[in-house]
Every structure is written in structure tokens, then in C-alpha cells.
């Protein structure tokens, strides 16, 4: 303080020299106008960035919708069949028993349907109806065994070529389809089979349920493993871990695992679960394990942030009346952090649901014609199915791929929406 007093004369001399700023001069006004223009430009750039990013998203979603919605419909042909005359070796009683499918298959229903197609549409009839049209006919028969005794007109799925020609044209079958349409034998309907069936080599018969069920089974395994482990380690690291080299190591591992390319987890699954532990290839169990390892760090990080966000005053309050540290955590911290943890979990699960590359590594890219039976039976998952279908020969798969993408996106958007809802609902209550 004394030093300051000593300098004072010097300061006063220097200070007096400045003239007050005149804000009204032309130069100053121009300058201010330029500054405001720069401000507007900058702001516009920001807005443009937001709009552009949102536009990309909108474009992506609209494109997928436009391409994929057609995948949910199928073209059907009205096929007259004279069951009485066809000589189908099956009785109505058999159709009501458990072995109905086998009975129909061995009774030569396929041949009957093919013959009916040739009879109805001419020599190219078999190319017009789907290879598996007879299965649809069989289902009708099971529903209504009475048909066996007479004639019926059954709407069967058209072949991929007809379907494509009917929907988009520009195929060799266009003329034929126009003819059929003129005869009123062509209808379009919602393809329920797409929602209930499994993979197939025939685009008119593929379904998403097999892959969806595979995804669900995989996700169940992932959730059961990643959630408890993730939450417990988040709690440990945030509430108890002493600061030492070990916890640093755990922290580094977790942060690193959260960013390790997913394909490396695939390599891990391949080397550890398949090669070392001899677990079954292509199984949802292994997929779930692999994805759980990938999801766990995401949950840990979200969990730690949520735990950190619980105000220390709550812990103090509980400790202050004599709660032990485990009681503090289980009575107060975890319940309060739960929304945050759940949000992180959902986001991690959504990421796992969309993940493809690691599943390719552990053999979940096989062709499997039926929905998986359990955790150890072979399965695919939705994104893998998308990848596989995008590579199919037949043009009919293009719209099916997009349709599968729509199913996948619906799930993901729902999950993300739920996470956002949770986050907004529980954001900062204290």
C-alpha cells in the first residue's frame, strides 16, 4: 500500500493525456454498423448450421420413408383353385390337427397351386405367383377346411417380378402386369407377412420378425449384463473409489472402452467367446455379451455423471444423521441418479441396437430362415439384416431393405425419444 502511494505522481501525469472518446463521429458510426453486420452474419451462419444439420436428418428420414413404405405392401394375384378336382390327399380333419403343415406339404399342395396358376394365367403362370404362394393357400385352408371340397379364388402373393412391375414399372413384366390389372386380378395389400416372417431368399416372403426377435434377445442379454455392472461400477468409482493408481487405471479403461471402435469388440468376441469359451456361433447370447461389453462403459459414464449430479448436500444430510455410506448410496444417491442412469442406459442400448460390425465378426450374418428359438440358437439382428438385404441380388430387396430400416429407426427413435423425455422430465429437480 505504501508502494502505491509512492507512484502516484507518475500516474497522474500520464493519465491526463487521453481525450474522451467521441461516439458520434462518422467513422465510429460506420464502425458500429460494420460490427452489427458482422454480428448478423455470424448469427446467420449459426442458424444455417443448425438448419443444414436438421435438413440432412429430415432428408435421410424422408428418403428412407419414401423408399421403404412400399416394402410394407405386397401385390396379390387372385388365383382360382379347384380343390375338389385337384386331388389333394388331405382330409379336413387332418387340417385341424397339429401336423397340418406337414400334411399339406406332403399332400402336394405346391403342385396343386402351380397347376392352378398355369391353368389360370397360362404357361407363364408359375412365374407370376410367388414360389411360396402355396403356403398362403395352405394357411387359408387351415383357416377354412371347408374349401377343400370345392373351388375358391384365393389372393396369393405375386412373384417378385410382378410385385416390382406393379409398384414401380420398368421391368420386363410391365405389359403382363398391365394386362392382369385390366382383368382386375391384381390387388395390393398390407404385407402382414413382413412383420411376422423371418429371412428368406424371396423378397415377397421375407419378414422382419426373425431379425427383430434376434435383436430383442440380444438386447435382453446386453441389458441384463451391462446395466447392473455399469451402475455398480459407476457408483463404486464415484462414491467409494480411493484416488490411486488402480482407480486411475479403471477410469482410463472405461473412458477408452467407450470410444474403442465397435469392430474391436467384435474381434474380442471372436477371440474370447467363440474361440476360447467355445460358445455357439451366431447366437444371440454371444452377440449380447459382446454388445454388453460395448455398452457397459457408456452406462458407467452416464451413471457417474448422474451420480455426480446428486447434490453433495443430500449425502451430507444423510451422513449427518448417521447413515452409513452404503445406506447413503442405496437410499439416496441411486434413487436420485436413476433417471440420469436410465437415460444413459437407453442411449447405450440404442447404440447397441444399431450396431452391426461386431455382430458380423461373431457370425451373426448367417442366413436363418426361422425366428431364433432362444438365446443360444442362431440369430441375426435388425441392422445385420439390413446389411445383408442391401447386398441381395433381387431388385425386390431394395424396398424391403428400406422397410427394415424404417422398423429399425422406429425403434431407435422411440428409444431416443424416451431418453429425451426422461432427461427433460427429471432434469435438475434440486
Partner 1 sequence: MSTLALLILLIGLGIVAWVSARLRLSRLAGEERTHSLPLYHGWYVALWTAVPPILFLILWVNITPALVSYAVIDTPVAARILPSEPLERSALLAEARALAKGQIEAPFNADARLLAPAYAETQSRYDLGATALALILAFAGFAYAFTRVRPDFRARTRVERIVMAALLGASLVAILTTVGIVASLLFESFRFFSMVNPLDFLFGTRWSPQATVLPGEDPGFGAVPLFWGTIFIGAIIAMLVAIPLGLMSAVYLTQYARPAVRRWMKPILEILAGVPTVVYGYFAALTVAPVIRDAAAAIGIANASSESALAAGLVMGIMIIPFVSSMADDSIAAVPGSMRDGSLAMGATSSETIRRVLIPAALPGVVGGVLLAVSRAIGETMIVVMAAGLAANLTANPFASVTTVTTQIVQLLTGDQEFDSAKTLAAFALGLVLFVVTLLLNIVALRVVKRYREAYE
Partner 2 sequence: IADPAAEGGEPRDRIRIVGSSTVYPFTTAVAEGFVNHNPGFEAPIVEQNGTGAGISLFCEGVGARFPDIANASRRMKPAELASCRQNGVTEVVELLVGIDGVAIAESRRGTAIALTTEQVYRALAAEPYGRPNTTRLWSDVDPALPNIPIVVYGPPSTSGTRDALVELIIRPGCLSNPAMVALEASDKDRAEAICTRLREDGPYVSAGENDNLIVQRLNANPDAVGIFGFSFLEENARTLRGVPINGVEPSAATIADGTYPGARSLYIYVKKPHMAAVPGMREFIAEFAGAWNPGGYLTRRGMIPAPADQRAASLERARTLPPLTPSDLGEAG
Partner 3 sequence: MTQVHIDTPVQPDAPAPHKMTARNVDVFYGSKQAIKDVSIDVDMDRVTAFIGPSGCGKSTFLRTLNRMNDTVSSARVTGDIRLDGDDIYSPQMDVVQLRARVGMVFQKPNPFPKSIYENVAYGPRIHGLAAARGEMDEIVEGSLKRAGLWEEVKDRLSDSGTALSGGQQQRLCIARAIAVDPEVILMDEPCSALDPIATAKIEELIHELRGRYAIVIVTHNMQQAARVSQRTAFFHLGTLVEYGETSEIFTNPREVRTKDYITGRYG
Residues 296-315 that bind partner 1 (CB under 8 A): 296-297, 300
In the complex with partner 3, the residue whose CB is nearer, 24 or 98, is 24
Stretch of 30-38, 240-248, 352-360, 366-374 lying at the interface with partner 2 (CB under 8 A): 366-374
**DSSP collapsed to 3 states, 275-286:** HHCCCCCCEHHH
C-alpha cell at position 262: 465397435
| The total number of residues written for the chain in this structure | 430
Question: Which of 56, 192, 367, 421 is the binder for partner 2 (CB under 8 A)?
Answer: 367
Site track 79-108 with partner 2 (rule: CB under 8 A), x = hit: --------------------x-xx--xx--
Contact indicator for 350, 222 with CB cutoff of 8 Å: no
DSSP state of 270: I
Contact indicator for 212, 226 with CB cutoff of 8 Å: no
Site track 185-224 with partner 2 (rule: CB under 8 A), x = hit: -------------x-xxx--x-------------------
Residue 280's closest CA among 209, 375, 383? 375
Dihedral, 110, 123, 185, 174 alpha carbons, nearest 10? 120
Residue 230 touches partner 2, criterion: CB under 8 A: no
Residues 269-288 that bind partner 2 (CB under 8 A): 278, 280, 282
C-alpha cell at position 177: 402386369
With contacts defined by CB under 8 A, how many residues of the chain interact with partner 2?
38
Which partner in partner 2, partner 3, partner 1, none is near 289 (CB below 5 to 8 A by kind)? none
Residues 332-361 that bind partner 1 (CB under 8 A): 347, 350-351, 353-357, 360-361
Residue 309's closest CA among 336, 332, 328, 348? 336
DSSP reduced 3-state for 374: coil
Question: Which of 25, 201, 256, 313 is the binder for partner 1 (CB under 8 A)?
Answer: 256
Stretch of 11-19, 147-155, 166-174, 321-329 lying at the interface with partner 1 (CB under 8 A): 321-329
Residue partners of 426: CB distance under 8 A and separation at least 6: 339, 340
Q: Rounded CA gap, 184 and 369, in Å?
A: 33
Sign of the Cα torsion 217, 220, 224, 227 reads positive
- In the chain, what is the straight-line distance between the N-terminal and C-terminal CA atoms, in Å? 45
Question: Which of 240, 248, 367, 369 is the binder for partner 1 (CB under 8 A)?
Answer: 240
Which partner in partner 2, partner 1, partner 3, none is near 293 (CB below 5 to 8 A by kind)? partner 1
Q: Rounded CA gap, 85 and 101, in Å?
A: 21
Task: Please return the burial class of 189, using the count of CB atoms within 10 Å of its CB with bins 0-12, 13-18 and 19+.
Answer: exposed
Min. distance of Cβ 13 from partner 3 in angstroms? 9
Min. distance of Cβ 27 from partner 2 in angstroms? 58
Which partner in partner 1, partner 2, partner 3, none is near 420 (CB below 5 to 8 A by kind)? partner 1
Q: Angle, to 10 degrees, between the axis of helix 209-235 and the axis of helix 284-309?
A: 40
Interacting residues with partner 3 (CB under 8 A):
1, 3-4, 7, 10-11, 14-15, 17-18, 20-21, 23, 28, 31-32, 35, 242-243, 311, 313-324, 327, 331-332, 336, 429-430
Site residues (CB under 8 A) for partner 2? 99, 101-102, 105-106, 110, 126-127, 131-132, 135, 170-172, 198, 200-202, 205, 278, 280, 282, 363, 365-370, 373, 377-378, 390-395
Amino acid at each position: 500500500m505504501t508502494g502505491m502511494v509512492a507512484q502516484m505522481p507518475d500516474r497522474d501525469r500520464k493519465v491526463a493525456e487521453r481525450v474522451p472518446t467521441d461516439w458520434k463521429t462518422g467513422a465510429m458510426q460506420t464502425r458500429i454498423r460494420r460490427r452489427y453486420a458482422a454480428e448478423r452474419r455470424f448469427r446467420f451462419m449459426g442458424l444455417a448450421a443448425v438448419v443444414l444439420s436438421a435438413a440432412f436428418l429430415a432428408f435421410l428420414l424422408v428418403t428412407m420413408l419414401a423408399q421403404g413404405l412400399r416394402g410394407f405392401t405386397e401385390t396379390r394375384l387372385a388365383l382360382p383353385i379347384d380343390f375338389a378336382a385337384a386331388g389333394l390327399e388331405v382330409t379336413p380333419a387332418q387340417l385341424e390337427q397339429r401336423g397340418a403343415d406337414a400334411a399339406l406339404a406332403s399332400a402336394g399342395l405346391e403342385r396343386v397351386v402351380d397347376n392352378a396358376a398355369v391353368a389360370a394365367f397360362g404357361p407363364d403362370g408359375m412365374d407370376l405367383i410367388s414360389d411360396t404362394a402355396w403356403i398362403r393357400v395352405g394357411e387359408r385352408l387351415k383357416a377354412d377346411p371347408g374349401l377343400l371340397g370345392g373351388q375358391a379364388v384365393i389372393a396369393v402373393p405375386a412373384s417378385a417380378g410382378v410385385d416390382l412391375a406393379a409398384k414401380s414399372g420398368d421391368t420386363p413384366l410391365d405389359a403382363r402386369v398391365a394386362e392382369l390389372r385390366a382383368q382386375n386380378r391384381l390387388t395390393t395389400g398390407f404385407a402382414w407377412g413382413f412383420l411376422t416372417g423371418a429371412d428368406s431368399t424371396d423378397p415377397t416372403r421375407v419378414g422382419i420378425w426373425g431379425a427383430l426377435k434376434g435383436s430383442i434377445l440380444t438386447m435382453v442379454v446386453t441389458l441384463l449384463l451391462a446395466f447392473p455392472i455399469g451402475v455398480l461400477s459407476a457408483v463404486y468409482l464415484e462414491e467409494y473409489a480411493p484416488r490411486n493408481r488402480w482407480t486411475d487405471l479403471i477410469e482410463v479403461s472405461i473412458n477408452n472402452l467407450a470410444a474403442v471402435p465397435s469392430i474391436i469388440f467384435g474381434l474380442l468376441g471372436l477371440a474370447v467367446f467363440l474361440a476360447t469359451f467355445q460358445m455357439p456361433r451366431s447366437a444371440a447370447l454371444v452377440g449380447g455379451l459382446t454388445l454388453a461389453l460395448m455398452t457397459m462403459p457408456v452406462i458407467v459414464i452416464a451413471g457417474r455423471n448422474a451420480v455426480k449430479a446428486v447434490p453433495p448436500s443430500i449425502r451430507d444430510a444423510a451422513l449427518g444423521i448417521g447413515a452409513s455410506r452404503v445406506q447413503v448410496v442405496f437410499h439416496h444417491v441411486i434413487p436420485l441418479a436413476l433417471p440420469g442412469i436410465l437415460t444413459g442406459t437407453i442411449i447405450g442400448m440404442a447404440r447397441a441396437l444399431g450396431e452391426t460390425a461386431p455382430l458380423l465378426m461373431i457370425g451373426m450374418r448367417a442366413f436363418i430362415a426361422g425366428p431364433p428359438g432362444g438365446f443360444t440358437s442362431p440369430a441375426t439382428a435388425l441392422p445385420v439384416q439390413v446389411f445383408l438385404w442391401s447386398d441381395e441380388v433381387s431388385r425386390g430387396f431394395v424396398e424391403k431393405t428400406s422397410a427394415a430400416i424404417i422398423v429399425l429407426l422406429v425403434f431407435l427413435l422411440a428409444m431416443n425419444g424416451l431418453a429425451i423425455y426422461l432427461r427433460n422430465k427429471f432434469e435438475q429437480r434440486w
